[in-house]
């Protein structure tokens, strides 16, 4: 998803995260006119378990600051696939 598309997301909309699968948008955060991030909550148990494993604690939401990890069109082929990291790519 591109930044311009991410800025138009609304709370309660469904998106698909590359690692956590189907998620609900909780909030779109914009700071000084720029996209800061999208707060999402995994819907299915596999996504919730992966988030818990990744962060080391039981939190329901995450802040995604890379819109390219989100899609509105189709779910990822494999839930749990690590997202692309610009620093290691």
**Chain segment 10-45, per-residue pLDDT in tens:** 999 999 999 999 999 999 999 999 999 999 999 999
**Confidence at residue 7, expressed as pLDDT on a 0 to 100 scale:** 93
- For the chain, what is the largest distance between any 2 Cα atoms, rounded to a whole number of angstroms? 35
- The SS3 of residue 16 is strand
Cβ partners under 8 Å of residue 20, min gap 6: 40, 42, 47, 48, 50, 51, 62, 79
Q: Give the angle 53-72-43 at the CA atoms, nearest 5°.
A: 35
Q: Average pLDDT for residues 44-59, to the nearest whole number?
A: 92
**Chain segment 60-85, per-residue pLDDT in tens:** 999 999 999 999 876 655 655 555 44
pTM value is 0.79
- The SS3 of residue 72 is coil
């Amino acid at each position: 998803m591109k930044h311009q598309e991410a800025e138009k997301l609304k709370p309660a909309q469904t998106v698909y995260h590359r690692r956590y699968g189907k998620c609900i948008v909780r909030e779109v955060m914009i700071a000084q006119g720029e996209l800061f991030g999208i707060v999402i909550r995994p819907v299915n148990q596999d996504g919730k378990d992966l988030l818990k494993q990744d962060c080391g604690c039981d939190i329901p939401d995450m802040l995604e600051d890379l819109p390219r990890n989100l899609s509105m069109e189709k779910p990822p082929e494999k839930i749990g696939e690590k997202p692309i990291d610009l620093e290691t790519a």
